[in-house]
A and B are shown apart, each in its own frame.
Chain A
Amino acid sequence: MNSDFSQPHRVGNLRGGVALVKATWASWVQYRSFFFILAFGWMIQPLIYLLVWTTAAGGKTIGGISRGEFVAYYLVLILVNQITYSQANWTVGDLVRYGQMNRLLIRPLSPFYENLSSEMAGKVVYMIFDLPIVLILALIMRPEMHASLRDLLAFIPALLLAWALRFFWGYWLALLAFWATRADALLALQDSLVFLLAGQVAPVGLLPGLLRTAAEILPFRYMVGFPVEVLTGQVETTGLIMGFAVQAVWLALALTLTALLWRLGLRRYSAVGG
């Protein structure tokens, strides 16, 4: 009588997953303007700190970073923050709370695809809005970039890992909705920690002693700040290796927790009902 929840993910159904991604994208494009407004909202904070730091730097440097370098840092950060921001995490809990999970569990496709598809749909729609704005700002504000080929090459895996880390870290927090009805409070906490420790309020290198150490150990810097630092040429080779290692360790933990909570959550869901 014991269940066969060893395969609750059903990630095997790639064909169905791809179709779902396409349809979700089509449905999101219907609401372009709504998502543009969201994207604008997410851009505001980095823009404010961009202005604060460039004004503060003036003609000098702060912690070795010049005005033009701050511009480059924050413009890249706007894009990286948007690419790694996982809106889907907020909807996972809703699926459980509002009984939508039944609808998804009855299909021969993992509900995970539902989240993944809104994630991918979102990225495309947000970039349509973000890219032109960042480009215009770059023309006006004259950023200074010292990215080597190594930095460029390292940026791509750093960004992908940052996305995966932020997505799955939020995902396991969201899955707590199987047990607690207001698990999304933890997602709000994660957003605050990202704001403080991921290089938004200031590049991590400029944070004071203890805070900086915390930022370098905790996962949040590796969700946003790390790839930005890599692309803007602020990370040395040893820092690069260390950064990838820390990113990988946190990602492995997030993936493990996600898989575990999924399994336990579904077991609980099938015991108590939705």
Chain B
Amino acid sequence: MIEAQITVQGLSKTYRVPVRTEGLRASLKSLVKRAYDNVHAVQNVSFSIRSGEIVGLIGPNGAGKTTTLKMLTGLLHPTGGQARVAGFIPWQRKNAYLQRISMVMGNKSQMIWDIPPMDSFRVLGEIYSVPSSLFKQTLEELIELLDMQELLTKPVRNLSMGERMKCELVAGLLYRPVVMFLDEPTLGLDVSMQLRLRRFLAEYNRKSGVTILLTSHYMADVMALCPRVILIHQGKLLYDGELGSLAQKMAPFKLVRITLGAENGSSSRDVSLPPGVEITNRENNLLTLRVGRAEAPAVTAQLLQTLPVADLTVEDPPIEAVIDQVYTEGGV
């Protein structure tokens, strides 16, 4: 069934932070009269996510990702706008709402440190009022999917980071939430563990139809899991759509790689390029050129005519490069 599971309308959050100035006199003065600055962490953000979608929320540090997640999980009150998740207004923090969502954070734990995970799971089962038959069934499924039978009886403090993240995922899914917020779930994990968790999330999403909103700084997470991304920067929504189209939209250029014929290697040093074409990399007879998206066909044709080309490819710039450009330049 296709329906909006998360709708966000003009969501804004402005923090009022005291201005601290250096020096004794200034700090004494601030005791009497405090100056405040308004920090616009999230500005007029709108989007809608259908049930069962996996969406990546990306942006540089301080872009407003966490603030957005905190508002959607009810931890923060927005200063403007509306949101509805699973039919609830998040910041009313109704028990019925909290039972339908889950927030798994790469750097915070729901587990009780000194006892085995199984005991923590039981407590969470009770806290979320999961009927015992359903609890057993769900737990078995999750343990099977995550292949973690042997972890259940060791104290949490003795587990590795990756093992602990598996436990966090079980803890976050035990009560079968309909919406899951994942904040940097692969933080600090090794490559193969990242891979396994991604596979798990994809499979679980397919099986259960849970809606997932995920933030991550690892583009590999986003590429593997999220057909759709929402890019925010300086609190504003910059892009909402397919990850593949992000490059087209954000980077109005293509990369043309040409390998020059060996017999003409010496003259390739002073190849004459059409206007607007830039050499971004050059290794021996391998050239990488940056060409405007619209000009790409014409330029390619011209290059084939004027240069002794042995091989030629036209590609979109790598997603990391596009993202980096957006992060550092604030959009293109």
B residues sitting closer than 8 Å to A (CB atoms) are 15-16, 67, 70, 73-78, 82, 91-96, 98-99, 101, 103, 105, 108-110, 112-115, 119-120, 122-123, 125-129, 155
Contact = CB atoms under 8 A, between A and B. Distances in A.
B127 A13 contact: yes
Given A16-B129, A31-B114, A106 B73 contact: yes
Given A16-B126, A19-B123, A19-B126, A103 B112 contact: no
A151 to B, nearest CB: 40
A158 B93 CA distance: 37
Interface in A156-192: none
A106 B98 contact: yes
Given A3-B92, A30-B114, A23 B77 contact: no
8 contacts: A3-B77, A4-B94, A16-B123, A16-B127, A20-B123, A106-B101, A270-B91, A272-B16
Contact of B112 (A12, A23, A99, A102): A23
Nearest to B15: A272
Contacts of B155: 30
A121 to B, nearest CB: 11
A59 interface: no
A271 to B, nearest CB: 6
Interface string A235-274: 0000000000000000000000000000000000011111
A271 B123 CA distance: 30
A100 B103 CA distance: 13
Contacts of A109: 127
Contacts of A4: 92-94
Given A10-B95, A19-B127, A108-B128, A27 B114 contact: yes
A14 B264 CA distance: 82
B115 A20 contact: no
A23 B115 contact: yes
Given A15-B126, A20-B123, A102 B92 contact: no
For B67, B93, B96, B112, the residue with the greatest tally of chain A CB atoms inside 10 Å of its CB is B93
A238 to B, nearest CB: 47
Contact of A106 (B92, B103, B120): B103
A103 B109 contact: yes
Given A270-B75, A273-B15, 15 more contacts: A1-B78, A4-B93, A5-B93, A16-B126, A19-B126, A20-B123, A20-B126, A26-B115, A26-B119, A27-B112, A106-B75, A108-B95, A108-B98, A108-B127, A270-B91
B98 to A, nearest CB: 4
B108 A27 contact: no
Interface string A24-67: 10110011000000000000000000000000000000000000
A214 interface: no
A153 interface: no
A139 B109 CA distance: 48
A99 B95 CA distance: 21
Contacts of A12: 95
For B15, B82, B114, B125, the residue with the greatest tally of chain A CB atoms inside 10 Å of its CB is B114
A27 B115 contact: yes
A238 B122 CA distance: 50
Contacts of B125: 19
The 9 closest A-B pairs by CB, nearest first: A19-B126, A16-B127, A108-B98, A108-B95, A27-B114, A4-B92, A23-B123, A270-B77, A19-B123
A274 B75 contact: yes
A221 B74 CA distance: 42
B126 A273 contact: no
A24 B129 contact: no
Given A102-B108, A106-B98, A273 B129 contact: no
A31 B77 CA distance: 39
Contacts of B98: 106-108
A217 interface: no
A206 interface: no
Contact of A102 (B75, B91, B123): B75
Nearest to B70: A273
